[in-house]
Structure 1
Amino acid sequence: METRIFFNPGDSVANINDYNEAIRKGQIFKQARHNDELVIAKDPNDKEYAIFYAKDALPAEHEKSKPYEIKNRL
């Protein structure tokens, strides 16, 4: 079952159309910052994958938050 999480789209580290490429880029970002958990998430329009730092998650009520479906955590 997928989990919904809320982010400001402007906080994404990267936006990528291909899931495997999103994983590769996420792993590169993860190597650079070992302590920060990353989230690979599908955007609300189901067009691309976004990479976010998990600490940047927002509450659903926040004016800039958009729902994303978590696909992977790194």
Structure 2
Amino acid sequence: MDTRIFFNPGDSIANIHDYNEAIRKGQIFKKERQVDDLVIAKDKDNEEYAIFYAKDAQKESDSQTKPYEVKKRV
């Protein structure tokens, strides 16, 4: 399900090196905050997984965003 999308790195909810841990934290955050639009995305530059609100995604790059590969929707 790899899809390239742009996010502002400052908008991430969490940055985690382990994929399974990122999913677990995303699920916990989703349950605690009662949200349904989270994505787990991978930053190719430093091999980290970040959790973002899907609504914060941008279709095009600008000076504040960088590309991520969406790995899972939570």
**Same fold judged by TM-score > 0.5?**
yes
Map 1:1-74; keep pairs closer than 5 Å.
1-74=1-74
| Number of residue-to-residue matches in the alignment | 74
What TM-score does the superposition give when structure 2 sets the normalisation length? 0.89
In 1, Cα distance between equivalents of 2:45 and 2:31: 29
RMSD value, Cα: 1.4
Q: Which amino acid aligns with 1:39?
A: V
- The alignment-based identity, stated in percent, is 69
Q: Unpaired runs of 5+ in structure 2?
A: none
Checking the alignment, whether the CA contact within 8 Å between 1:5 and 1:70 is kept in structure 2 is yes
Q: Unpaired runs of 5+ in structure 1?
A: none
Checking the alignment, whether the CA contact within 8 Å between 1:59 and 1:65 is kept in structure 2 is no
